[in-house]
């Protein structure tokens, strides 16, 4: 847990924009996901947010409550992103008004990575919560991502969202792979059963690149995972941290820090 005092993390929650830094991106300006379908309106994914470094997207995140957002631990820990300092992280929230876009900047009071996150052990428990110092303006429960009530399993259809190369927000459809298939795709990767899963885009001309870590893996408004790892040699595949197996940690951590 980190508490900001003289230095602040500024969080700019972007309701319509987000693409992220995948594992070990070290603050580089991200490339874009490709393929998928355009997102028609912000109403489809109102919980999606963007973490920024030097005014560039570097990681995705999602709104859970008026005070808490969730992302990948590798997005906020210095040992995995040495160029990303707490005073440089920003998150944009942009509300579309009739004649203009309203931008609000929030500072973060706590960075709360999972206590068992470990890059030396296949980046297990790659999750972190950020608590805002002030609640999100005009917040309603309709904005929040919904925590799942069950695991996602092999062959299930899921999705994620990010910027296409053209600059348009796109939704990618993926299929959750079985544990055995994941091990075949990532031969040298030590998968941790239950808490880590992998997925493949359903179209050959779609995939991921640096800049997609921390993004939510979704079914509707249910957030089933957080994208953790990407390997350039396998652009259609991602490894994500399973949310359902971490629901107790998420809920208990928010309860502990809700009044702090």
pLDDT value for 25: 34
| SS3 state at 124 | strand
In a domain, 27, yes or no: yes
Across-strand partners of 173?
Answer: 159
pLDDT value for 200: 94
Asked if residues 73 and 128 have their Cβ atoms less than 8 Å apart, the reply is: yes
**H/E run at residue 247:** helix 247-258
pLDDT value for 204: 84
pLDDT value for 23: 35
Asked if residues 49 and 69 have their Cβ atoms less than 8 Å apart, the reply is: yes
Total number of domains constituting the chain: 1
Q: How many CB atoms sit inside 10 A of residue 147's CB?
A: 16
In a domain, 101, yes or no: yes
Rg of the chain over all Cα atoms, to the nearest angstrom: 17
In a domain, 235, yes or no: yes
pLDDT value for 24: 36
In a domain, 2, yes or no: no
- CATH, residue 13: 2.40.10.10
pLDDT value for 211: 59
In a domain, 1, yes or no: no
pLDDT value for 168: 59
pLDDT value for 76: 84
In a domain, 50, yes or no: yes
CA-nearest of 111, 115, 57, 119 to 87 is 111
- Domain, as residue range, for 236: 7-260
State the pairing for strand pair 128-132/68-71: antiparallel
User: CA 55, CA 184: separation in Å to the nearest integer?
Assistant: 38
Note down pLDDT in tens along the chain; length 260 residues: 666 433 344 454 443 323 233 333 333 344 567 777 877 556 788 888 877 776 677 788 899 999 999 999 988 885 544 444 445 455 555 555 555 556 677 777 888 999 999 877 778 999 999 988 889 877 888 889 999 999 999 999 999 987 555 445 678 999 999 999 999 999 888 888 889 999 999 988 888 766 578 889 999 889 999 999 888 788 899 999 999 999 999 999 999 999 88
| SS3 state at 89 | strand
pLDDT value for 249: 98
User: CA 13, CA 49: separation in Å to the nearest integer?
Assistant: 5
In a domain, 201, yes or no: yes
**H/E run at residue 236:** none
In a domain, 205, yes or no: yes
């Amino acid at each position: 847990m980190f508490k900001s005092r003289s230095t602040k993390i500024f969080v700019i929650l972007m309701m319509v924009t987000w693409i992220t830094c995948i594992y070990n991106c070290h603050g580089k300006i991200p490339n874009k996901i490709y393929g998928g379908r355009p997102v028609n309106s912000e109403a489809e994914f109102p919980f999606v947010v963007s973490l920024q470094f030097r005014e560039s997207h570097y990681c995705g995140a999602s709104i859970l409550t008026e005070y808490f957002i969730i992302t990948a631990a590798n997005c906020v820990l210095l040992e995995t992103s040495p160029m990303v300092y707490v005073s440089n992280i920003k998150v944009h929230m942009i509300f579309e008004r009739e004649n203009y876009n309203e931008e609000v900047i929030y500072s973060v009071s706590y960075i709360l990575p999972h206590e068992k996150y470990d890059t030396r052990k296949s980046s297990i428990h790659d999750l972190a919560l950020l608590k805002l110092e002030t609640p999100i303006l005009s917040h309603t429960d309709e904005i929040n991502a919904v925590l799942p009530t069950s695991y996602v399993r092999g062959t299930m259809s899921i999705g994620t969202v990010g910027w296409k190369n053209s600059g348009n927000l796109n939704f990618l459809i993926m299929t959750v792979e079985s544990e055995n298939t994941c091990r075949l795709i990532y031969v040298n990767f030590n998968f941790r059963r239950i808490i880590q899963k992998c997925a493949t885009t359903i179209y050959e001309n779609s995939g991921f690149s640096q800049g997609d870590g921390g993004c939510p893996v979704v079914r509707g408004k249910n957030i089933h995972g957080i994208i953790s790892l990407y390997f350039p040699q396998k652009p259609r595949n991602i490894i994500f941290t399973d949310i359902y197996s971490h629901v107790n940690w998420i809920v208990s951590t928010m309860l502990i820090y809700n009044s702090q």
